[in-house]
Chains A and B, each alone.
Chain A
């Protein structure tokens, strides 16, 4: 699998490069849009939840950023990957190439924007939060990689299913909106009533958010349970996604 992706690495690179170029070409602010969006989103949440709802936490801005940036990546990547097969019908019907490159390119496109946003905002967050850099913070790279695989698994699964069931697009959109509010991103997990806390943590998005917050906001190693939940979800979703995608690949060209 990875060998074929390697052979077609210039295709993957060109697809990502094309999307990046097309996104920014001809716009005045260009690449700044990738930073402005999370920044403004953040500002609104900050006003709403710090000053209106009055969540009291130290460095709430840092907490918010640390959960929100990875979520934005996940949401954007899943939404665009879901339509990556149906949206490229003209290619699939006319030339044979590894179809996985399409959802993979969608996910990587959003991942690059996440890395960009992180590399710009992180120094500020460290400054605002008065956070000393420690070895544990390097764990975020591992977490990012696992998050990438997890997202890719979902992307493979949904992009393949969308070919047969057009409703998946709407379900995904709605599902992501709902998921956001049951994921501890704008509120910390300990604000959730104790008896529901376990249930909330089973949601893989929550486990990822908690892990990001532990590492980057608190500077701690995430608790073992969270790590296990993340690994189980990632391995099983990637496996399932890849299997379903491979199973459906031969009929893509006939159904779209």
Chain B
């Protein structure tokens, strides 16, 4: 159980914020002669000096206020962003659930959308053939699976998206606040499925503002604030800590920074 599957070492991520974006060739050329037309670039450090190890079989929760870097951290693991400084090491197949229904097209039917979506995750047609019944079952779409996605309700769309990603047999599952939309019944079903995957010894990293779920499900949690991990430990302790911080408003947070 001690195998480490995600290793962040002194990782920092900066995004370039352009004050006056110059994305046309004309302005670029003018910038050569006149500094007024030159880009003013500013760095925004979304993650600062992150050191984090995630072991196989952990259910890690990431909490923190909006803009604290939770989603960026998740995208670093998914390989969508590259580190500016430091390194990220991943061992195992990552399935990111940053949005439900990746690659779905309104005019394709449920079945076609499943095939398109799973192939984005790198599955071949044969591999999808093997799991498609499971996906359709889990989505509970019934007859609607033959309908184009534009005829789905938001809930149905979400169900199909979740069912597709969750059945890909991930070794490392990343979930970014995707449960907020479903109804109570489907949420419970998703949580149950996540627990099942966790019991199989897979790693799950969950970003959520639903602190109750984090407390209930996660084995460990990290609290992010302004791009830094300012606390980590057992999920219930972190949640308690976070709640206290919020209650004390910014005062507590400023102290933390020093």
List residues of A whose CB falls within 8 A of some B CB: 7-11, 13-15, 18, 21-22, 25, 90-97, 164-167, 171, 250, 253-254
B23 touches A254 (CB 8 A): no
Q: Scoring B residues 11 to 37 as 1 if CB is less than 8 Å from chain A, else 0, what string do you get?
A: 000011000000111101000000000
B105 touches A22 (CB 8 A): yes
B80 touches A96 (CB 8 A): yes
Interchain nearest-CB distance for A26 vs B (Å): 8
List residues of B whose CB falls within 8 A of some A CB: 15-16, 23-26, 28, 75, 78-82, 94, 96, 98-99, 102-103, 105, 107-108, 112, 115-116, 119-125, 128
| Complex Cα–Cα for A7 and B93 (A) | 15
Interchain nearest-CB distance for B120 vs A (Å): 5
B119 touches A14 (CB 8 A): yes
Known: A22-B105, A167-B24, A254-B15. A96 touches B119 (CB 8 A): no
Interchain nearest-CB distance for A177 vs B (Å): 19
Known: A14-B116, A25-B107. A94 touches B24 (CB 8 A): no
Known: A10-B123, A21-B108, A253-B80. A94 touches B98 (CB 8 A): yes
* Chain A interface main SS type: helix
Among A11, A95, A166, which residue has its beta carbon within 8 angstroms of that of B80?
A95
| Complex Cα–Cα for A90 and B78 (A) | 15
Among A8, A96, A164, A253, which residue has its beta carbon within 8 angstroms of that of B23?
A164
| Complex Cα–Cα for A253 and B96 (A) | 15
B23 touches A11 (CB 8 A): no
Interchain nearest-CB distance for B243 vs A (Å): 30
| Complex Cα–Cα for A15 and B121 (A) | 13
12 contacts between A and B (CB under 8 A): A10-B123, A10-B125, A91-B102, A93-B80, A94-B99, A95-B78, A95-B98, A96-B78, A96-B94, A171-B25, A253-B80, A254-B16
Interchain nearest-CB distance for A170 vs B (Å): 10
Interchain nearest-CB distance for B242 vs A (Å): 27
Which residue of A has the minimal Cβ distance to B106?
A22
Interchain nearest-CB distance for A79 vs B (Å): 19
- Nearest first, the 7 A-B pairs at minimum CB distance are A96-B79, A11-B119, A10-B119, A250-B82, A94-B98, A14-B119, A14-B116
B119 touches A22 (CB 8 A): no
A8 touches B119 (CB 8 A): yes
| Complex Cα–Cα for A92 and B124 (A) | 20
A166 touches B23 (CB 8 A): yes
A165 touches B81 (CB 8 A): no
A22 touches B23 (CB 8 A): no
Q: Which residues in A have their C-beta under 8 angstroms from that of B125?
A: 10, 13
B102 touches A10 (CB 8 A): no
Q: Which residues in B have their C-beta under 8 angstroms from that of A22?
A: 105, 107-108
A11 touches B25 (CB 8 A): no
Q: Which residues in A have their C-beta under 8 angstroms from that of B24?
A: 165-167
Which residue of A has the minimal Cβ distance to B79?
A96
A95 touches B108 (CB 8 A): no
Among B25, B122, B128, which residue has its beta carbon within 8 angstroms of that of A97?
B122
Which residue of A has the minimal Cβ distance to B24?
A167
| Complex Cα–Cα for A250 and B23 (A) | 18
Which residue of B has the minimal Cβ distance to A98?
B122
Q: Which residues in A have their C-beta under 8 angstroms from that of B103?
A: 91, 95
| Complex Cα–Cα for A21 and B105 (A) | 11
Q: Which residues in A have their C-beta under 8 angstroms from that of B102?
A: 91, 94-95
